[in-house]
C-alpha cells in the first residue's frame, strides 16, 4: 500500500495531548509513513523535537510563526531556534512567513524583520524553509525574490492565485495543499494546484486544523490525507495511489528522508 507523507502537521498542539500514543499507532495503521511536525515558536519547536526523538516516522522544523511573534521576541529566541535546528531530526526552518489577516498581529515591518532573519538562518544552515503566507503575497514575493537560487522549501497551505503559484514554482519552491481542496469553495486552490508540476506537489494536514470533507470542523489528523489525495487525484486525472506515491517522494526529497 502507498504510504502517506504529511508534510505539515502540529502534533505538538495540545489538542493531541490526551490520546497522543494511541493516535500515533492509529496513523500507522492508516498508512501514514512519515510526518513533518512543525514548530511555530521556541516552545513548540522544542516539543516537536522531543516528539520526533520518541518516534520512528517523524521529523520536525524549528521556527517562529508570524502570528507567534511577541513584543519581546529577541536575539535569544533566534539563538534558541538555531540551537534546535542543529538537531539531526530538524529538517527545515519553519514555519516562518507573513500573515496580514489579523489586525492585532505583529506589524508588517516586524513580520518582515523576523521572516528575513529566519530566511538568513536557513541559508546559513543550508536547510529548506516551510513558509506560511496569508494575505501577504506581494510583500512575501518581494522578499523571496532576493533569495532566489539560495533558498529552497515549500509554501504550505497555499491560498494564493495560480499566477503566484507559477512564480513560486519558477523560484524553485514546492507547494503544499491541505484539506481546503475538498471544500465547496476550493476553486481557487484547485486552480493553483493545477499549475504546480507533479514533482513539486506536497500534501499536508496542518492538523489539528483544516480537516477535509467529510470531517470538516473535527480535529484533523494525517490519516485524513486519504481524502485530500483522492480529491487531488480526481482533479488531475490520476489515481490516489499515484498522488500518494509522488507526494511522498517529493517530501522525502525536500526534507532528505530515506
Residues of this chain that interact with Ni ion (CB under 5 A) are 206
Distance of closest approach, residue 160 Cβ to Ni ion, in angstroms: 16
Q: Which is nearer to Ni ion, 68 or 206 (CB)?
A: 206
Residue nearest to Ni ion (CB): 206
DSSP label at 44?
H
Q: What contacts 93, CB < 8 A, 6 or more positions away?
A: 61, 62, 63, 81, 85, 118, 119, 121, 122, 125, 127, 128, 129, 130
Instruction: Tally the C-alpha atoms within 13 A of residue 258's C-alpha that lie toward its C-beta.
Output: 2
**What angle in degrees, to the nearest 10, is found between the helix axes of 137-145 and 162-170?**
10
As measured in angstroms, the least distance from the Cβ of 206 to Ni ion is 5
Q: How far is the CB of 205 from Ni ion (least distance, A)?
A: 9
DSSP code, position 17 = S
Find the distance separating the first CA and the last CA of the chain, reported in whole Å: 18
Report the nearest approach of Ni ion to the CB of residue 149 (Å): 26
- What burial class does residue 217 get, using C-beta atoms within 10 Å of its C-beta: 0-12 exposed, 13-18 middle, 19+ buried? exposed
Closest separation between CB of residue 65 and Ni ion, Å?
Answer: 7
Amino acid at each position: 500500500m502507498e504510504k502517506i507523507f504529511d508534510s505539515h502537521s502540529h502534533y505538538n498542539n495540545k489538542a493531541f495531548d490526551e490520546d497522543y500514543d494511541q493516535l500515533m499507532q492509529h496513523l500507522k495503521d492508516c498508512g501514514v509513513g512519515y510526518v513533518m511536525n512543525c514548530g511555530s515558536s521556541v516552545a513548540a519547536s522544542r516539543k516537536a523535537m522531543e516528539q520526533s526523538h520518541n518516534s520512528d516516522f517523524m521529523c520536525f522544523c524549528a521556527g517562529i510563526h508570524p502570528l507567534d511573534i511577541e513584543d519581546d521576541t529577541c536575539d535569544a529566541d533566534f539563538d534558541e531556534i538555531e540551537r534546535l535546528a542543529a538537531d539531526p531530526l530538524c529538517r527545515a526552518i519553519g514555519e516562518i512567513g507573513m500573515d496580514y489577516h489579523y489586525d492585532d498581529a505583529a506589524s508588517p515591518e516586524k513580520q518582515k524583520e523576523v521572516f528575513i532573519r529566519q530566511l538568513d538562518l536557513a541559508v546559513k544552515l543550508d536547510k529548506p524553509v516551510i513558509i506560511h503566507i496569508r494575505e501577504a503575497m506581494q510583500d512575501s514575493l518581494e522578499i523571496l525574490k532576493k533569495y532566489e537560487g539560495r533558498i529552497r522549501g515549500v509554501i504550505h497551505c497555499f491560498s494564493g492565485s495560480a499566477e503566484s503559484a507559477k512564480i513560486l514554482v519558477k523560484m524553485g519552491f514546492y507547494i503544499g495543499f491541505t484539506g481546503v481542496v475538498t471544500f465547496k469553495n476550493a476553486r481557487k486552490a484547485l486552480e493553483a494546484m493545477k499549475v504546480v508540476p507533479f514533482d513539486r506537489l506536497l500534501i499536508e494536514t496542518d492538523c489539528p486544523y483544516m480537516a477535509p470533507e467529510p470531517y470538516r470542523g473535527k480535529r484533523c489528523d494525517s490519516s485524513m490525507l486519504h481524502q485530500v489525495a483522492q480529491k487531488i487525484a480526481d482533479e488531475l486525472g490520476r489515481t490516489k495511489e499515484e498522488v500518494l506515491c509522488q507526494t511522498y517522494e517529493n517530501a522525502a526529497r525536500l526534507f532528505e528522508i530515506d
